[in-house]
């Protein structure tokens, strides 16, 4: 391979070439919100465009975190308890939800002729995203700016903020198109 004298340090050039061989892993984290889906379409448009023209392959992972359902405790009568059947049905509903979210996402990818893997993890989304970045050696993680907590005054949701701080790879925070402001 030709050595490029790019003004970057030798280390950087070597790292670049190594990365070129390995391909770039891009992960988009989505939830049920439109922001997540928009982040995905942004990634597809700007990062995954016609891989054939790229020197190095790119792979896309669509990530979804299922929040622990201990939160959905149903008060009933005197005490607060969660019966086994309630837990089961909550779990089932959550899985259906995740399946629906991912199905929507995969359809987006298909429409643009992009092959993507999906990954679902159980836990707090912000922590799970960062964990997945490390476990899957992700090179770039993309998140929407705001999720389900549509607190309009905040320009940056708590998950995006956490990921921006703690992810060990470059982060893109995709803000909704201007019309939404």
Q: Which long-range contacts (CB under 8 A, 24 or more apart) does 48-55 make?
A: 48/112, 48/114, 51/114, 55/20
| Nearest Cα to Cα of residue 97 among 33, 48, 16 | 33
Return the residues of window 30-69 that contact other proteins according to CB under 8 A: 42, 46-50, 54-55
Judge contact between 83 and 66, C-beta under 8 A.
Answer: no
* Residues 88 to 117 in contact with other proteins, rule: CB under 8 A: 111-113
- Cβ nearer to other proteins, comparing 48 with 66: 48
Q: Are 127 and 165 in contact (CB under 8 A)?
A: no
Q: Which is nearer to other proteins, 38 or 63 (CB)?
A: 38
Q: Which is nearer to other proteins, 98 or 173 (CB)?
A: 173
Region binding other proteins by CB under 8 A among candidate stretches 12-20, 61-69, 78-86, 92-100: 12-20
Distance (Å, whole) CA 61 – CA 64: 10
Residues that bind other proteins (CB under 8 A): 4-8, 12, 15-16, 24, 42, 46-50, 54-55, 111-113, 139-140, 155-156, 160-161, 164-175, 178, 181
């Amino acid at each position: 391979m030709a050595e490029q004298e790019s003004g970057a340090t030798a280390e950087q050039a070597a790292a670049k070439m190594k990365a070129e061989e390995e391909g770039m892993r891009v992960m988009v984290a989505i939830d049920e919100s439109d922001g997540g889906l928009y982040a995905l379409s942004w990634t597809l448009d700007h990062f995954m465009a016609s891989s054939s023209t790229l020197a190095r392959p790119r792979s896309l992972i669509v990530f979804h975190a299922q929040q622990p359902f201990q939160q959905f405790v149903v008060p009933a009568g005197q005490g607060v308890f969660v019966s086994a059947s309630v837990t089961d049905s909550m779990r089932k509903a959550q899985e259906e939800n995740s399946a629906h979210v991912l199905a929507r996402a995969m359809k987006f990818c298909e429409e643009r002729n992009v092959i993507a893997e999906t990954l679902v993890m159980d836990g707090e989304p912000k922590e799970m995203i960062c964990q997945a970045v490390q476990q899957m050696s992700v090179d770039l993680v993309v998140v929407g700016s705001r999720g389900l907590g549509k607190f309009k005054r905040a320009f940056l949701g708590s998950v995006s903020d956490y990921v921006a701080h703690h992810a060990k790879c470059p982060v893109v925070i995709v803000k909704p198109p201007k019309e939404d402001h």
